[in-house]
Every structure is written in structure tokens, then in C-alpha cells.
Amino acid sequence: MQKIVDPSRETWKELLARPEQKDDELQAVCSEIFAEVRKNGDEALKKYTWFFDRVQIENCCVSEEEFAEAERMVPESLKEAIRRAGENIRGFHIRQQEACSKGPVWEGVEGVRCWQEVRPIDRVGLYVPGGTAPLFSTVLMLGIPAQIAGCGQVVLCTPPGKNGRVEPAILWTARYCGIFQVYKAGGIQAIAAMTFGTETIPGVDKIFGPGNQFVTAAKQFATTCRVAIDLPAGPSEVLVMADGLARPEFVAADLLSQAEHGRDSQVVLLTWAPEIVPAVEAELERQLALLPRREVALAALENSRCILVKDRETALEIANEYAPEHLILCTEEYHSLIPEIRNAGSVFLGNYAPESAGDYASGTNHTLPTHAYAKAYSGVGVASFTKCISFQEISREGLMHLAPVIEIMAENEQLVAHRNAVRIRREAIGK
């Protein structure tokens, strides 16, 4: 970790910058693959699955037998853990739905009744990465809010393993979330398939889910093809804000849990207590040595920073400027900090709230804005699977109240037909 002491304000921007990702070349690759999937459908999908994943897929649709096999293969202890995490995630997310369902009718002017109603997005596509680790927790984090929102069609794409199969834990979790349409497709071609639809995979209105740089570029490209996406993604990150009472071994464990995600992950330790820094460093070294993914974690730590500031206020300013995906407040007194947190994806309070709790089981969502997007984006929730429609019901009397206002404004905007749509009604009422 790079150590920075009391950085001057002019250097913050550079200090807190994430590594730039160049994706101009990737956009050209996306353009080509999207065009081919649009044109040739399943045939193109098959071709690219062979080209990129070296797997021959005859039918990319996961069969009933494969689901049944997953049911047999996933150990009961894991099923029970997934169910318990699922209950917490469901419990927390159901309350989001209550918060955003049908709004009250507002009648500010007599006879003019306005309100909003929430509707599920009809067709959603979930992408779940394959590769070295089977991220069944992501199935929970996307599948449960989709189910609560009431989306009509939920499609899940995930790349097949070398054996041409999908990880059993992913299949089992999909079923647990009520998802029956699972397809063996990964990377750019999977995103293209959900964008346009193929003979087998249905096209969708919005695509969700994390992925590597190819998937990220493909999702960005999909937005130019009239499909919505959950979030622009980037490498995962954590900022731990610690005071002198933080436990160095916990801080080190949290930094490492983020660092093991990938070489491009970024972890930041931010503190006004210089005395904890050597202790955290020693713990990092000790714990790192025991990790199976230590090479990945070590590479991530090399991109990472330990920032020592003079006080709590400066730390808060830096944390808000960094806008971390995960913010851990390892401080004795954190309640007074909460109102000061302006930009973060998910916040973990105190010494006993590791990021892993939110990654799996506390109930909050783990699909969160990275790369300082927390300045403008929320994490995924039930609202991500819905949209709001406004309604207005206007009586004759109501329109007569509004008419003079609308007519003056429309005339001043030189939109005479807008004015006429009111005037013709006003005249009819007057008769």
C-alpha cells in the first residue's frame, strides 16, 4: 500500500482517482459481436461460446434434468445457508417495495388529481459471472428484488464451465429465487443475446449484473441499443475509516476481503490515528500469507492507499470525495458520522460489521456503485426492477382552474397547438 500523510487538498483529485479503464477497443469488439448476434441469433452465440470459452453448446437452455442434478449436488448445509441469507435479503428488500408502491393522490387544485403508480419492468435479464468462483450470492441479490418487484419474465445468463454445465449452486439458487429460464451464455455474446433476443434467449428491457471488463463494455454498448442497465460497473472497492480504537486485525481482514476480488480491486485505509498504521500493516502481511488468492490480493494492495489525515473532519471530506462502493466505519463513535456521509454505496458501522456481512447475508444488496458512481447512483434494490408512471385525472372544473396558466405559458413558449388543446376544451365547457 502506498502511504500518504496529510495530503494537500489540490492533490485529492489525483489521489482518489481510480485507474482509468480504456475500453475504446472493446467497444469495437462489442459492435461486431452485437451485430452478429442480432443477425444470426443462436448460431452466433454458439460460435462465440466456442471461440471465447472453448465449449461446444448444442442447446444453451438449461434443462429440467440439469436443475434436478443441481438439487442433488448442492449440499444441504449450503442450501440452508442460502435460504437463511435469502430470508434476510427478502426481509430487507420487501420493505423497499412498501416504501415505493402507489403514491398518494394529490389534489392541489380542485378537480386536478395527480398520483404515481409503480409497475414492474416486464422483462429483465440477469448476468451472473462464471469463471473461477461460482457467484451464487449474486443470484440472490438480483433474483430476490426481481421477484419482489413482480417482473413478468426473468432470464438468467451465465457462462458454462469447461464441462458445458452451469455450477450447481447457481442453478439451485436461481430455482430458489423462482427463476426457471437459465441459459449457458457468457461475456459480450450473452449481453447481446439479452439485448436483441435469439431463437432461444428472450430479449429484455433491462440487464443487471456484474462482470469482467468485457461484460462491462457490453452493458455500456447495450445502452446504445435501447436497453437499460442497472449500473455502470467497475472494479470493486472498499474504504475503511478507522480511529485509534479500531482493531487492526479486523481492519486488515476487511481490506484483504476486498483485495482478493481481483487485481484491479482498490482498497483504502483512511485514518487520523497514526498509531494503528503499523499494526494494520503487520496484520496484512500475516493474514495475506495464509490466503489461497494471495497473489491477486497482493496485486490489488499494490494499487491501494493508506491515507493519514489530521482529523475526523478531513477524513469525512476525503471519504465523500472518494465515494466508495463499500465504506466501513471502524470507529468508536459512528452515529455522529452518519449524517455526514454523503456519497457511498453501502456503509458498515462499527467493529463487528465486516463487508462480507453485506456481501452475503445481512439483507442489504451487494450490487453497488463503484468508481465514485455513488455520487449519483444508488445500489440495486426493488426500485431498480420497477418504474413509476404518473397519472392525472382532470375534471371540467379542474381544467377551467388550470386553463389560464397553461394558455399563457404555452403562448410564451410559442407552442400554439399546446394552448389550443386547452382552449378548445375551455370553449366547449363554456358553451
Residues 97 to 136 in contact with a copy of itself, rule: CB under 8 A: 99-100, 103-104, 106, 108-109, 112, 114, 116-117, 119, 121-123, 132-136
- Marked catalytic residue, from 167, 237, 260, 325: 325
Task: Confirm or reject binding of residue 164 to a copy of itself (CB under 8 A).
Answer: no
Residue 326 is a catalytic residue:
yes
- Marked catalytic residue, from 326, 355, 366, 371: 326
CB 391 within 8 A of CB 115: yes
Query: Please, which residues have CB within 8 angstroms of residue 34's CB and are 6 or more apart in sequence?
Result: 188, 192, 195, 196, 218, 221, 222, 225
Nearer of residues 250 and 322 to a copy of itself, judged by Cβ: 250
Task: Confirm or reject binding of residue 365 to a copy of itself (CB under 8 A).
Answer: yes
Identified binder of a copy of itself from the candidate list 7, 161, 202, 232, rule CB under 8 A: 232
Q: How far apart are CA 149 and CA 385, in angstroms?
A: 6
Closest CB 58 distance from a copy of itself, rounded Å: 28
Our separate counts of H helices and E strands in the chain read 16, 14
Identified binder of a copy of itself from the candidate list 65, 389, 430, 431, rule CB under 8 A: 389
Which range, of 50-58, 186-194, 291-299, 308-316, touches a copy of itself by CB under 8 A? Answer: 291-299
Nearer of residues 275 and 290 to a copy of itself, judged by Cβ: 290
Query: Please, which residues have CB within 8 angstroms of residue 166's CB and are 6 or more apart in sequence?
Result: 62, 66, 70, 130, 158, 160, 182, 184
Q: How far apart are CA 255 and CA 246, in angstroms?
A: 13
- Asked whether the CA dihedral 175, 179, 185, 191 is positive or negative, the reply is negative
Nearer of residues 7 and 150 to a copy of itself, judged by Cβ: 150
Identified binder of a copy of itself from the candidate list 70, 169, 191, 268, rule CB under 8 A: 169
Nearer of residues 5 and 416 to a copy of itself, judged by Cβ: 416
Closest CB 56 distance from a copy of itself, rounded Å: 26
Closest CB 406 distance from a copy of itself, rounded Å: 5
Nearer of residues 40 and 116 to a copy of itself, judged by Cβ: 116
# chain residues binding a copy of itself, by CB under 8 A: 131
DSSP summary character for residue 206? E
Task: Confirm or reject binding of residue 395 to a copy of itself (CB under 8 A).
Answer: yes
Q: Read out DSSP for 45-113?
A: HHHHIIIII----S--BPPHHHHHHHHHHS-HHHHHHHHHHHHHHHHHHHHHHHHHSSPPPEEEETTEE
Identified binder of a copy of itself from the candidate list 5, 28, 245, 338, rule CB under 8 A: 338
Closest CB 376 distance from a copy of itself, rounded Å: 4
First to last CA, the chain: 80
Q: How far apart are CA 333 and CA 318, in angstroms?
A: 19
Query: Please, which residues have CB within 8 angstroms of residue 387's CB and are 6 or more apart in sequence?
Result: 118, 119, 121
CB 84 within 8 A of CB 191: no
Task: Confirm or reject binding of residue 38 to a copy of itself (CB under 8 A).
Answer: no
Which range, of 61-69, 175-183, 311-319, 398-406, touches a copy of itself by CB under 8 A? Answer: 398-406
194 residue type, one letter: M
Place of cell 456521509: 341
Nearer of residues 5 and 388 to a copy of itself, judged by Cβ: 388
Identified binder of a copy of itself from the candidate list 11, 32, 73, 91, rule CB under 8 A: 91
Cα dihedral 86, 92, 94, 98, rounded to 10, equals 180
Which range, of 43-51, 64-72, 307-315, 348-356, touches a copy of itself by CB under 8 A? Answer: 348-356
Residues 304-323 that bind a copy of itself (CB under 8 A): none
Segments of 254-366 assigned E as strands:
266-271, 305-308, 326-330, 346-349
Q: How far apart are CA 143 and CA 141, in angstroms?
A: 6
Residues 201-220 that bind a copy of itself (CB under 8 A): 205-206, 220
Residues 245-284 that bind a copy of itself (CB under 8 A): 247, 249-250, 253-254, 256-257, 259-261
Residues 18-37 that bind a copy of itself (CB under 8 A): none
Length of the chain as a residue count = 431
Closest CB 211 distance from a copy of itself, rounded Å: 16
Which range, of 4-12, 58-66, 93-101, 153-161, touches a copy of itself by CB under 8 A? Answer: 93-101
CB 139 within 8 A of CB 129: no
Task: Confirm or reject binding of residue 417 to a copy of itself (CB under 8 A).
Answer: yes
Active site amino acids: 325-326
